Structure 1
Amino acid sequence: MKRVMTSMAALAIGAGAAHAGGVERSTQSVGILFEQGNYGEVSFGAFNPDVSGTVGGGALKSGDMAPGYGTLSLGYKQALNDQWDLAVIFDQPVGAKVNYPSGTGYPIAGSTATIKSAAITALARYKMPNNISVYGGLRSESVSGKASLYKGGANYYNLDTSQETDFGYVIGAAWEKPEIAARVALTYNSKIDHDFSATETVTTGGLGDGVYNTNFTTTVPESVNLEFQTGIMKDTLLMGSVRWVHWTQFDISPEAYTYAPSAEHPNGRLAQGALVDYSDNTITYNLGVGRRFNDQWSGAIMFGYEKHTGKPTGNLGPTDGFKSVSLAASYQATQNIKVTGGVRYVDIGDATTNGLNGDFSGNDGWGAGLRVGINF
């Protein structure tokens, strides 16, 4: 049951990708390190949010500004001996896809933005006496972004960044009690700073119009994951996670968009503040129960929660907290192959946006995920 539940818990929590912090797409779980023997897996996810808002007391409607998206992750774990394990994980830690439909009359109709990322994490785990293990490794992360902003139907700003690859690290420790399928793992993921070069185009009809080649730094923030599970009765497992992310480290502040002209920022033009930033860190909770029905079938239900802050948000990320419920099922197709599927419903927290005072309420989304794991 332990191997099945490890895979199913991770998929149930992340079915259709994460939603914490607005741009988070991966929970950065290290669960693969605890699979038995040699193991490989591939996971696919999809999330279809429905996010829309209004201004002027409902007179102008934004339409659905958050298109659906997909995610991919791969993992391989090698047991070197009784004490050492190695793992390599590919995931997409952050991402964004924003598209305000044109022709709605909403003040920023036509605005679009994307963030793309890919990361490879290499981990090593060392098992010590008394069921304690320590692990750590390096993460290589590649990120790029684009934005095209409209106001009153006219395009006034465009951003196209370079693709930058930079490095961070992972450290953690775990305690296990195999006879009751208990495990607690605490993992720290370092921040990663990306120094972008960018092309910014300003077309406001003013003297500052032009194309500017600029530079800015964005930090993908540090995080702490607490993952846990324990048997509570025969064939039944309690499992969950607590994830803290230092989102106040994250902002996107291109020079021509953010600053007024000065000696320090000669490319400054619009002076509109950060394009994207967050005023609060997040703590995301997941808790659920898994049950093995027979030698082939297991199921799980998971509940997720992230606090609603009530503070204004940016127009490119008009969400504030969430509640979710996930269902997952795992089928042991052969002795070495298991297939796990999950669905997730997310009640997206209401938000009021900066500047426009847009009211984004009553929004939600559906996600699904599929994972195939092979022990060999």
Structure 2
Amino acid sequence: MKRIMTTAAVVALSAGMAQAGGVERSTQSVGILFEQGRYAEFNVGGFNPDVSGTVGAGTVSSGDMAPGYGTYSLGYKQALSDKIDIAIVLDQPIGANVGYPAGTGYPLQGSTATVSSNAVTMMMRYKLPNNFSVIGGLRAEQASGEVSLSSGYTMKTSDETDYGYVIGAAWEKPEIAARVSLTYNSKITHDFSASENVMGGVPTSFATTVPESVNLEFQTGIAKDTLLMGSVRWVHWTQFDISPPGYLGASGGVPLVDYSNNSTSWTLGVGRRFNDQWSGALMFGYEKTQPGTTGNLGPTDGYKSVSLAASYQASDNIKITGGVRYVDIGDAITNAPIGGVFSDNSGWGAGVRVGINF
């Protein structure tokens, strides 16, 4: 039960993430460390949001300014001994794809922005007595960004790779498929060189911090072939700030992107094994709406979601899992002077995972 059900749960949690600030693409789970024996997985997913707002008492619409995007990740895990497990994960921790349609009359019409990243995380779990274990690892993260605003401002950063770490602890009770893990992911600061079409074309530079976070992941058997599972994720989003000096000068000191609140995201659900081949999961997610306004390049605030996943054990060592997720995206009012009102927005996500034990 443990092997089949946890896979369904992870895909339900991660299929097309729509997280705080609209830039999070990975929950940085350490679940792969608890797979049995030698294990490899490939994940691919996508999210298609529909996000629009209005100004002028609802008379001018922005159009859908949040194009869909895809994500992927790779993972490999193996046991070095009866006490030591190692894993390596390739994923995309943050990303953004913003495109205000042209010809709408909205103040930001024609503006675009992208953020891309890739990260490699190497982790180790060391088993202690009484079903406890400690977790540690290093993360290398590459990031870059580009923006073009309707005001005529443009900016493109260098590709920068910097480093962070993950530490944590876990407890298990295999007899009832119970597990709790608590992990801390450090912040990673990127020192970018930038090309801005201001300040006489002189190259500029600035630092942006991908924020620290804390993950609590849990599961436990509650009946025969049935699991209760979920997670709590806290992200220090007030550390995230994009402030190119040329833009700061032109905007009177207002950052291009920043967040005034941190976030806590919750998921809770039930998984069930139907037979030796099939299992499924139903998950609910929640992140509360924060007070205040949001940036014009990320006009969402909190969410509610429901996810469904099904897992098929294709053979003794191959399992295939698919998940879909509906997200009710929280309403937001963007920063002055635009003050756009974004409401009644939503999105659909889907993901597929193939896992192989060998």
Normalising TM by the smaller chain, what interval? Answer: over 0.9
Residue of structure 2 aligned with 1:173, choices 169, 174, 177? 169
Q: Which deviates the most, 3-12 or 232-241?
A: 3-12
TM-score (norm 1): 0.94
The yes-or-no answer on 1:185 pairing with 2:181 is yes
Q: Quick check: 1:7–1:31 contact (8 Å CA) kept in 2? A: no
Q: Quick check: 1:17–1:71 contact (8 Å CA) kept in 2? A: no
- Tell me the distance in 1 between the aligned counterparts of 2:99 and 2:202: 24
Residue of structure 2 aligned with 1:371, choices 341, 353, 357? 353
- Tell me the distance in 1 between the aligned counterparts of 2:173 and 2:221: 10
Q: Quick check: 1:18–1:27 contact (8 Å CA) kept in 2? A: no
- Tell me the distance in 2 between the aligned counterparts of 1:141 and 1:363: 31
The yes-or-no answer on 1:299 pairing with 2:289 is no
Give 1:339's aligned amino acid: I
Where do 4+ consecutive residues of structure 1 move more than 6 Å? none
Partner of 2:204: 214
1:157 CA displacement:
0.2
- Tell me the distance in 2 between the aligned counterparts of 1:11 and 1:45: 9
Partner of 1:164: 160
- Tell me the distance in 1 between the aligned counterparts of 2:171 and 2:182: 9
1:354 CA displacement:
0.6
3-state SS, counterpart of residue 6 of structure 1: helix
TM-score (norm 2): 0.98
1:17 CA displacement:
2.5
Alignment of 1:305-344 (within 5 A): 305-344=286-325
Alignment of 1:164-313 (within 5 A): 164-202=160-198, 210-259=200-249, 269-313=250-294
3-state SS, counterpart of residue 16 of structure 2: coil
3-state SS, counterpart of residue 150 of structure 1: coil
3-state SS, counterpart of residue 8 of structure 1: helix
Give 2:54's aligned amino acid: T
Q: Quick check: 1:192–1:220 contact (8 Å CA) kept in 2? A: yes
3-state SS, counterpart of residue 21 of structure 1: helix
3-state SS, counterpart of residue 354 of structure 1: coil
- Tell me the distance in 2 between the aligned counterparts of 1:75 and 1:307: 31
Q: Which deviates the most, 269-278 or 294-303?
A: 269-278
1:112 CA displacement:
0.2
Q: Quick check: 2:21–2:298 contact (8 Å CA) kept in 1? A: no
- Tell me the distance in 2 between the aligned counterparts of 1:312 and 1:62: 17
1:310 CA displacement:
3.4
Q: Quick check: 2:62–2:100 contact (8 Å CA) kept in 1? A: yes
1:40 CA displacement:
0.2
Q: Quick check: 1:218–1:250 contact (8 Å CA) kept in 2? A: yes
The yes-or-no answer on 1:59 pairing with 2:59 is yes
The yes-or-no answer on 1:37 pairing with 2:66 is no
Give 1:189's aligned amino acid: N
Q: Quick check: 2:322–2:353 contact (8 Å CA) kept in 1? A: yes
Q: Quick check: 1:223–1:244 contact (8 Å CA) kept in 2? A: yes
Structure 2: state its 5+ residue gaps. Answer: none
The yes-or-no answer on 1:357 pairing with 2:330 is no
- Tell me the distance in 2 between the aligned counterparts of 1:310 and 1:51: 19
1:9 CA displacement:
1.3
Q: Quick check: 2:185–2:212 contact (8 Å CA) kept in 1? A: yes
Deviations 1:156-191 (A, max 9, x none): 200000000000000010000000000000000000
Give 2:126's aligned amino acid: Y
Q: Quick check: 1:43–1:370 contact (8 Å CA) kept in 2? A: yes
1:127 CA displacement:
0.5
Matched pairs, number: 357
- Tell me the distance in 1 between the aligned counterparts of 2:181 and 2:233: 12
Give 2:11's aligned amino acid: L
- Work out the percentage of aligned pairs sharing the same amino acid: 72
Deviations 1:281-301 (A, max 9, x none): 000000000000000000000
1:4 CA displacement:
1.6
Give 1:23's aligned amino acid: V
